[in-house]
Amino acid sequence: MNYKLVFRLLGRLLLMEAALMLPSLLVALIYGQGDALAFLETIAVTATCGVLLSQLLRTDRQDLTARDGMAVAGLSWVILSFFGALPFVLSGAIPHVVDAYFEAVSGFTTTGSTILTEIEHLPKGVLFWRSFTHWIGGMGVLVFTLAVLPRLSGRTSHLARAESPGPTFTKLLPKMSDTAKALYLLYFALSLLECVCLLLAGMNLYDALIHTFGTAGTGGFSNYNASVGAFHSPLIEWIIGVFMMLFGVNFAMYFHLWRREKEPVLHSEELRAYLLMVLLATALITCTILPQYPGFFDALRTAFFQVTSIISTTGFATADFNFWPLLARTLLLLCMCIGACAGSTAGGFKTSRMLLLGKSAYRDLEHTLQPRKVAVVRFEGKAVQESTLTQVGVYLSLWVALAVGGTLLLSIRQTDFVTAFTAVLTTLSNVGPGLNGVGPTENFAFFSPAAKLLLSLLMLAGRLEIYPVLLLFSPNVWRKN
């Protein structure tokens, strides 16, 4: 590993994080609830560490290898979460370091799981930063840095590839910096559109920004204990539900629409499968929960909101689905596992991987019946390389191993199985709420510090698609180039 280059990049990321705390500082100053000093101290510490790393570790070598890119991706999310937790600790909002780190990791990874029990009593600046971390982490901190600092390194595609969600990585434009700028322009435009819609629906600016950050990053932090249900507004629920579904779509689709290229969008297998899953899950759950609601449209709205919230891995809630029938909860668990599209801000296993696994299994079945037949798996109109199919299978194995291992470790504390399993599943999939003890009206405060660190690691693994986090434990990564 090129230590000087890696830590210099981490220093620049810390400088970027310090700059991104300025809006939260402004909010803290406007409301004057005593948390401004915490942000000033955090910005000073973060910026100082960033300057020391970026300026003292100068190097002439700018050849960023794939191994360096993985190291930067893994280390950056761990370090940024640590410094991002400082405002919680210094303001006294979350005095315990492990709890604050859990909350920061949950924010940056856009998971939305929380240890907080009384959210509404916290200072406005702290709550703004808590939700703003969703917006930062949604598209990726490294992608954001590449968009702002295009001369960060000679081979920046390794950075984006290391934190890009999905089985494959494709640049939309020849230059990685141009791709990053295009992605963030689309991300900002959609976020602005949602914020305007929420303002027109009756939200004040502060609430609209908080819930826009949570929707855009598919994170789900709200500044109310009852989440979106606190507004008691069907219009707001429909707006947020639709935008949760939109942010679960591969951003390449919006890029094609922006360039008036309709064919890739109309013929996208993943997009069709994703929308079909939303439609079917909403229809089935609506029929299942209909006896619990006064009318069909109330049940439809509630089902649609929870389906889009879970499948996009956002985690907003308008109902306690712990009390829904078993079929409805099972469908939500399936949505939690699958997640939305690759290339979106959502977590989960990804729809594209499920389609590739299904097509690969069907091809193997055909081969069993007709051994001499040569069949090629095709996806989105293109032949899929065998190496990609192998990677998808390996990723599934690692994903299942982490889910099983995490559940076993949480079970040591004698937590009931459903709570332990869904806590691991929801953190690994970056969803937020689970079932039973970690349901939509509950929180993660009762877990031990060790369990919270384990769940934080699972959140990081889920957001970074496992490999960058696992590779941090490999001695080969730490060897000098």
Give one DSSP letter per residue of 83-125, joined into a string.
Answer: HHHHHHHHTTSS-SHHHHHHHHHHHHTT------S--TTS-HH
pLDDT tens for 318-331 read: 999 999 999 999 99
In a domain, 90, yes or no: yes
Predicted model pTM: 0.93
pLDDT tens for 362-382 read: 988 888 888 877 788 888 888
In a domain, 94, yes or no: yes
- Which pLDDT score, from 0 to 100, does residue 410 have? 93
pLDDT tens for 331-345 read: 999 999 999 998 888
In a domain, 126, yes or no: yes
End-to-end CA gap in the chain: 5
In a domain, 237, yes or no: no
Lowest mean pLDDT among 161-165, 251-255, 456-460: 161-165
Host domain of residue 169:
3-224
- Looking at the 3D structure of the chain, how many domains does it have? 1
Measured CA to CA, the distance from residue 291 to residue 293 in angstroms comes to 6
In a domain, 447, yes or no: no
Closest among 355, 414, 416 to 381, alpha carbons compared: 355
Mean local confidence (pLDDT), 339-365: 91
Q: Tell whether the model's pLDDT for residue 258 goes beyond 80.
A: yes
In a domain, 459, yes or no: no
Q: Can you give the three-state secondary structure of 294-327, one letter per residue?
A: CCHHHHHHHHHHHHHHHHCCCCCCCCCHHHCCHH
pLDDT tens for 100-118 read: 999 999 999 999 999 998 9
- Which pLDDT score, from 0 to 100, does residue 278 have? 97
In a domain, 58, yes or no: yes
Give 376: exposed, middle or buried? Use CB within 10 Å, 0-12, 13-18, 19+. exposed
Give the pLDDT band (50/70/90) at residue 161: low
Q: Tell whether the model's pLDDT for residue 237 goes beyond 70.
A: yes
In a domain, 188, yes or no: yes
